[in-house]
Amino acid sequence: MTYHDRSPSELRDMFGANLRVLAQSYPSISELSRQLGVNRTQFNRYLAGESFPRPDVLARICSFFDVDARILLEPVDEIGLDCLSLNDPFVQDFLGDAAVTVPESFFPSGFYRFSRRSFLAPTRFVVGLVHVSRKNDSTFLRGFEPRAVLTLQGLAEDDTSREFRGIVMRHDDGVAALVSRRGAVTSTFNHLTREVSFQNNFWVGYVARSIREGINSNRVERLVYEHIGSDWRKAVRIARTTGFCDFDDLLPFHRRLLRPDDPFR
């Protein structure tokens, strides 16, 4: 069937199915509706394939999820990432499929709780939440900076300013992720290897900031990731605990893996 043969009902169904896929990364439909500026009842109608958005609302949705209007026509998982050039012949043997294709068994999709020492307040620690997803054989990471972290830097606390995204690559002994805030305002390099644990759900490594050398703050800190699965209700509960905390407030295994008194090598 060609695109022009599709009925309005089939187009609504396609849009609704794609929107449900895109919304999976968000723990709360109510919060997602608020961020999009769309009435929750109307948004549910989009999800159910019962209604189309107005052109201006469609443009807002596409911009928010960084997709184009093909979400009306094609499954979102099949829409190519034209701007992603890791398979360009120049770097394919270095950063191509072998690096980008990360097996689920190696680094599962879902939510992760992370902890690290604060870069800006070295006596305190940061707890955060990220979501890992897959699309077109690539593995992506998405999250939001805790508001308290941006407040300490005198930066805006709106969701657009807080959001960060990244791409995850496979290494021989773990995974690496290049993560940036919108517009690459700031970037970090993260490296994680799996740690032996009862549920086999912990990774430990480090995070490095892309800033010039300074004497008032560190650029590299030890980092712990804990896979908590795909239950968005659990993710919402954990999201309420993110932000700054003292070392004693961290979960016991996070404290053990962070080893703040041991020099980072």
**Fold: same for 3-78 and 97-258:** no
The residue that leads in pLDDT, 172 or 115, is 115
DSSP secondary structure letters along 164-186: EEEEEEEETTEEEEEEEEGGGSS
Ranges of each domain in the chain: 3-78, 97-258
**Distance between CA atoms of 130 and 144, rounded to whole angstroms?**
7
pLDDT in tens, 157-212: 677 778 889 999 988 789 999 999 877 777 899 999 999 888 899 999 999 988 77
Instruction: Tell me the pLDDT tens digit for each residue of 139-164.
Output: 999 998 877 776 766 666 677 778 88
Which of 92 and 247 is assigned the larger pLDDT? 247
Q: Mean pLDDT, the chain, as a whole number?
A: 83
User: Residue 252's pLDDT is what?
Assistant: 95
Choose the weakest-confidence range: 52-66, 121-135, 230-244, 246-260.
52-66
What CA–CA distance (Å, rounded) separates 217 from 203? Answer: 24
What pLDDT does residue 82 have? 46
pLDDT, position 76: 67
In this prediction, residues 230-259 reach a mean pLDDT of 91
Cα separation, 124 vs 127, in Å, equals 10
For the segment(s) 97-258, the CATH number from 2.40.128.120, 3.30.70.260, 3.40.50.720, 1.10.10.10 is 2.40.128.120
58-62, 67-71, 104-108, range with the lowest pLDDT: 67-71
Q: What is the pTM of this model?
A: 0.69
Q: Phi/psi at 157 (nearest 5 deg)?
A: -110, 10
Q: Which CATH superfamily is domain 3-78 in?
A: lambda repressor-like DNA-binding domains (1.10.260.40)
